[in-house]
């Protein structure tokens, strides 16, 4: 098992280089678009009065949502001690780390003068900027920083024993690098106990933090007195949507790893089936939230809110809205409700639909509202331009590139956790007396 | 200072457990026996020691420290530089709870990681008692050799467990 799972680290095929070149090419498209934007100014985007948030903030919310795939799901599965989690957790945790980095980049990309990003930092200077803790944007900073720090540590800690495995199998420069990452890990009983305790604590701590992060992202909208934003449902609605899109991203990532790294022996169809069930449940929950939100708005019949409402039901955004409902609700329901369709391929198709649908959902939360504020004189429209589209495409390329490089240099499946999962179950409690005869474990 | 040690390598945790028990019978205390493996074996006695709630307690203390720091930060800075925002109070507890919560959790997380590293002796020296065969799935059961302890008795105990190899080495504490 160890050799099999370390194979991607110790051998490199030409396909890896081709994939990296393609992904770097996609990322460079985004870098080029960003350079063009910096050179020409943010006017090269389609943003214009009254729509000042569009693709950029959609990408921000979308990627922060995707980040919920990993740490949150992994922490929940760890706490409930779900046995099938073992091959899944690290694949998931990696998504969190990279998705957060990509998402957190957008508030800076979105600045008209991104090179002055440090002006955002709240510290006392001659500019007299001082932390305004009442601003949701400052809450964002604290929440995302906490979640990113916690997620990186949550990813790193259980990787330490695996780094030690790689350290002992490599030589020269690689041995020194992996040795440094392993921190001199030996695997004494004390170290194992401390690591498992730490992971338990981290799992307990990270779940409320993960929930808070997307709640706070929703507060960026719901704290504003703007039609269809100022809603108490936004916190749980965003959290549910984030977990929903996160599970979809996890299924796609796992299927890609299974295919390209030949991990069929570890990522079984049952893992996809279980995640498919979770995705189906989240799809139903998402549908419930959308229905509750839309029904309440429609029943209230407030003119400002109804103008946004009708923009998505009978207006210019209707095709996007219908696509969103099909992708997020109809497609998962049709595929995942039936056991015979909950295959790897079925789950991947449903997940691809959900990723598209959830991006559209974020877009439809932001743009129709901003283009239909209270007074009709301030209504407007928005149409994306090529730099924005390239930036969006580049984020997917960046995710793929970071994920590919990570799985090349770090065991993408936790080897020691998988081994623990293969230990036979006890048939009776272990005695702890001094008598050797009673000490040994009884195998089934 | 280098300490001489003797250790056995075992294929199965049952064999490591036998050696562990034999060593105790030979008069070696549990605290002196080092067991190293590439995976935790919670079901065996050699793995039952070193359990502690220390990390949980330290995490709670860390969280409390973060809470106090956060309260000081948000109230102190607001009072030092009062800004009127939308008619809200200068110290506005509802929005401040968000910051206080995040800093409390961040502090608990960082304390947990620091406690893990310190109490596990990480980062550790490379010349501690260890054998790379552990990475191949072997379980190491080792004992420091002191002047009061007969090496033959230790070797016998390690062999009695069914060691695939018994070696002597030196390590630094």
Q: Which of A180, A197, A223, A232 to mutate to test the interface with B (most CBs of B within 10 A)?
A: A197
Interface of A with B in 71-130 (CB under 8 A): 124, 130
Measured between alpha carbons, how far is A353 from A331 in angstroms, rounded to an integer? 7
pLDDT in tens, A87-121: 888 988 999 999 999 998 998 888 888 888 877 66
Measured between alpha carbons, how far is B111 from B61 in angstroms, rounded to an integer? 8
Q: Which residue has the tokens 């009709």?
A: A376
Q: Which residues of B touch A193 (CB under 8 A)?
A: 40, 47, 50-52
Is pLDDT above 80 for A189? yes
pLDDT in tens, B118-145: 999 888 866 788 898 999 889 999 998 8
Sign of the CA dihedral with A241 first, then A383, A117, and B94 last: negative
Measured between alpha carbons, how far is B142 from B135 in angstroms, rounded to an integer? 16
What is the mean predicted confidence (pLDDT) over A266-282?
93
Give pLDDT, residue A431: 44
pLDDT in tens, B44-99: 888 887 777 899 999 999 999 999 999 999 999 888 888 888 888 999 999 999 99
Contact B124 A185 (CB under 8 A): yes
A380 closest CA partner among A390, A369, A391? A369
User: A434: nearest CA in chain B?
Assistant: B21
Sign of the CA dihedral with A51 first, then A54, A56, and A58 last: positive
Distances from the Cα of A205 to the Cαs of A16, A200, A287, A369, in angstroms?
37, 9, 29, 35
Is pLDDT above 70 for A288? yes
Distance from CA of B25 to the nearest CA of A (A): 8
Cβ atoms of residues B137 and A422 within 8 Å: no
Contact B46 A189 (CB under 8 A): yes
Give pLDDT, residue A117: 82
Q: Give A71's pLDDT tier (boundaries 50, 70, 90).
A: confident
Enclosing H/E stretch for A237: helix A234-260
Cβ atoms of residues A220 and A229 within 8 Å: no
Q: pTM of this prediction?
A: 0.90
Measured between alpha carbons, how far is A397 from A394 in angstroms, rounded to an integer? 5
What is the crossing angle of helices A234-260 and A71-79, to 10°?
90
User: B15: nearest CA in chain A?
Assistant: A440
Sign of the CA dihedral with A123 first, then A147, A247, and A164 last: positive
Q: Give A435's pLDDT tier (boundaries 50, 70, 90).
A: very low
Contacting residues for A369 by C-beta, under 8 A, at least 6 apart: A226, A227, A228, A229, A308
Q: How much is the CA Rg of chain A, to the nearest whole Å?
A: 24
B20 closest CA partner among B32, B3, B4, B2? B32
Q: In this structure, what token pair is assigned to residue A126?
A: 């001659």
Cβ atoms of residues A122 and A138 within 8 Å: yes
pLDDT in tens, A318-360: 999 999 999 999 999 999 999 999 999 999 999 999 999 999 9
3-state secondary structure of B127: coil
Measured between alpha carbons, how far is A337 from A395 in angstroms, rounded to an integer? 31
Cβ atoms of residues A246 and A67 within 8 Å: yes
CA A212 to chain centroid:
14
Q: Which of B116, B130, B161, B172 to mutate to test the interface with A (most CBs of A within 10 A)?
A: B116
Measured between alpha carbons, how far is A37 from A29 in angstroms, rounded to an integer? 12
B13 interface with A at CB cutoff 8 Å:
yes
3-state secondary structure of B143: strand
Q: Which residue has the tokens 């990570």?
A: A406
Cβ atoms of residues A235 and A57 within 8 Å: no
pLDDT in tens, A347-405: 999 999 999 999 999 999 999 999 998 888 888 889 999 999 999 999 999 999 999 99
A279 closest CA partner among A214, A217, A331? A331
Is pLDDT above 90 for A10? no
């Amino acid at each position: 098992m160890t050799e099999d799972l370390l194979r991607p680290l110790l051998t490199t095929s030409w396909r890896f280089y081709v994939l990296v070149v393609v992904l770097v090419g996609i990322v460079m498209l985004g870098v080029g678009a960003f350079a063009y934007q910096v050179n020409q100014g943010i006017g090269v985007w389609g943003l214009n009065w009254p729509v000042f948030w569009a693709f950029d903030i959609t990408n921000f919310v979308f990627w922060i949502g995707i980040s919920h795939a990993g740490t949150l799901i992994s922490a929940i599965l760890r706490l409930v001690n779900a046995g099938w989690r073992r091959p899944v957790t690290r694949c998931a945790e990696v998504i969190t780390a990279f998705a957060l980095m990509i998402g957190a980049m957008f508030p800076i990309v979105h600045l008209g003068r991104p090179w002055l990003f440090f002006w955002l930092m709240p510290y006392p200077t001659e500019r007299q900027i001082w932390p305004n803790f009442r601003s949701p944007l400052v809450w964002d900073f604290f929440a995302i920083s906490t979640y990113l720090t916690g997620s990186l540590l949550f990813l790193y800690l259980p990787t330490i024993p695996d780094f030690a495995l790689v350290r002992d199998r490599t030589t020269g420069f690689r041995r020194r690098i992996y040795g440094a990452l392993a921190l001199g890990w030996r695997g004494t009983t004390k170290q194992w106990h401390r690591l498992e305790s730490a992971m338990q604590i981290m799992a307990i701590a990270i779940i409320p933090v993960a929930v808070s992060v997307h709640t706070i992202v929703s507060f960026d909208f719901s704290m504003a007195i703007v039609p269809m934003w100022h809603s108490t449902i936004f916190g749980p609605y965003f959290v549910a949507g984030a977990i929903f899109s996160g599970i979809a991203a996890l299924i796609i990532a796992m299927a890609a790893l299974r295919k390209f790294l030949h991990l069929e022996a570890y990522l079984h169809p049952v893992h996809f089936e279980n995640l498919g069930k979770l995705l189906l449940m989240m799809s139903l929950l998402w549908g419930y939230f959308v229905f509750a939100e839309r029904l309440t708005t429609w029943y209230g019949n407030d003119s400002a809110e109804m103008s946004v409402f009708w923009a998505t039901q009978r207006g210019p955004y209707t095709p996007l809205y219908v696509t969103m409902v099909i992708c997020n609700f109809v497609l998962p329901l049709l595929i995942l409700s039936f056991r015979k369709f909950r295959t790897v391929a079925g789950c991947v198709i449903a997940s691809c639909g959900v990723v598209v649908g959830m991006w559209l959902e974020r877009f439809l939360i932001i743009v129709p509202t901003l283009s239909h504020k209270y007074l009709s004189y301030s209504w407007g429209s928005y149409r994306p331009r090529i730099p924005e589209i390239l930036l969006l495409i580049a984020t997917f390329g960046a995710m793929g590139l970071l994920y590919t490089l990570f799985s090349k240099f770090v065991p993408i499946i936790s080897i020691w956790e998988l081994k623990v999962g293969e230990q036979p179950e006890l048939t009776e409690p272990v005695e702890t007396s001094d008598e050797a005869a009673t000490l040994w474990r009884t195998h089934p | 200072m280098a300490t001489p040690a003797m250790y056995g390598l075992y294929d199965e945790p049952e064999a490591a457990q036998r050696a562990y028990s034999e060593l105790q019978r030979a008069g070696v205390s549990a605290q002196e026996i080092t067991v190293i493996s590439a995976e935790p074996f919670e079901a065996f006695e050699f793995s039952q020691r070193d359990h502690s709630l220390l990390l949980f307690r330290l995490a709670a203390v860390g969280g409390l420290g973060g809470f106090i720091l956060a309260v000081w930060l948000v109230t102190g800075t607001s009072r030092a530089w009062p800004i009127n925002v939308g008619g809200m109070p200068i110290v506005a507890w509802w929005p401040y709870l968000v910051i206080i919560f995040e800093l409390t959790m961040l502090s608990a997380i960082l304390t947990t990681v620091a406690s893990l590293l310190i109490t596990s002796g990480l980062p550790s020296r490379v010349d501690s008692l260890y054998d790379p065969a552990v990475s191949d799935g072997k379980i190491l059961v080792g004992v420091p050799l002191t002047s009061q302890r007969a090496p033959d008795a230790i070797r016998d105990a390690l062999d009695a467990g069914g060691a695939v190899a018994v070696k002597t080495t030196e390590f630094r504490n």
